[in-house]
Amino acid sequence: MSLTMGGGPFARDAPATVNYRIESPHHALYMQPFPRRVRAELGGQEVLDSDRGMLLHETSLLPQLYVPTEDIRTELLTPSDRTTHCPYKGDASYWHLRVGERVAENAVWAYPDPAPEAAWLRGLSAVYWDAADTWLDEDEPVRGHLRDPYHRVDARPATLLVQVAFGDRVLARSAKPKVLSETGLPNRYYLPAGDVHRELLVPSRTVTYCPYKGKATYWNLRLEDREVPDVAWSYAHPLKDALDVRDHLCFLHDELTFTAERT
């Protein structure tokens, strides 16, 4: 993610503050080995098992795992009529993935005759993330997408006084925030639950998954005359990259105002 997005060296908004120039096309491709075993399961069966994966970084896209085609259960594949053309990679062919009564249509794709500048894609195939029920990085289940080796998440305590308000109503005020820095994203302030007026918040039905931080649950702001959805989120059981913000709340909403002053 940091290579091709968020101002990385291969992003369309690559930084100008360098003393070199990368001579590359407007749309860059960069492939590197992914050094761990990856497995995918559908309908209770393993459909992909590879420790020879390659991670393709592509401008403005999340990294995509490609594996040798023989590392996919080819007996479970049937050809699809679907084809697509990429001006950078070539013409893609697709296959349906069937396990018993479960069918994931157009789940697998490959470039049988890739463009010359992407010739290293020959013999490799990829599986759409949503086509599988479960993905494993070694023995750890992963949701959302594989972790990019160039992506970082760091949480640090800060000497800041942070206040969050909705109009004239203060929702949170804390001198003990954690500043979470994540590649390609603005810093976020995570506030201890004890510094939040929790009586104003009610659980939301919204749930999101981050492959770096884990499962986030959201909170609505309940007012006398309305309920403002998803004004904050928290991680009750975070992954290791977000352990320092466990049970802290992070606020973000267009109708909120924030102040952060050094103390």
Domains and CATH numbers, the chain: 29-142 (2.170.150.40), 153-262 (2.170.150.40)
In this predicted model, what pLDDT tens digit does every residue of 201-237 receive, in sequence order? 999 999 999 999 999 999 999 999 999 999 999 999 9
Residue 41 has pLDDT above 70, yes or no: yes
* Segment 97-102 mean pLDDT: 96
What was the pLDDT predicted at 210? 95
**Which of 73, 42, 214 is closest to 144 using CA atoms?**
214
Give φ, ψ of 50 to 5 degrees.
-150, 135
pLDDT digit string, tens, across residues 120-179: 999 999 999 999 999 999 999 999 999 999 999 999 999 999 999 999 999 999 999 999
**Confidence grade of residue 25 (pLDDT, cut at 50, 70, 90):** low
Q: What span, in angstroms and rounded, lies between the C-alpha atoms of 6 and 186?
A: 10
| Rg of the chain, C-alpha, whole Å | 22
For residues 9 and 66, what is the distance between their CA atoms, to the nearest angstrom?
22
**Residue 20 pLDDT exceeds 80:** no
The pLDDT of 21-46, averaged and rounded, is 88
Binned at pLDDT 50, 70 and 90, residue 22 comes out as low
Of 83, 81, 108, residue with least CA distance to 97: 108
pLDDT of residue 84: 98
CA distance linking residue 119 with residue 24, whole number of Å: 17
- Share the mean pLDDT of the chain: 94
pLDDT at 249: 98
pLDDT at 17 over 90: no
pLDDT at 23 over 70: no
pTM, 2 dp: 0.87
Count the alpha carbons within 13 Å of 132 in the hemisphere toward its beta carbon: 25
Question: How many Cα atoms occupy the beta-carbon half-sphere of 226 within 13 Å?
Answer: 4
Residue 93, pLDDT > 70, answer yes
pLDDT computed for residue 11 by the predictor? 75
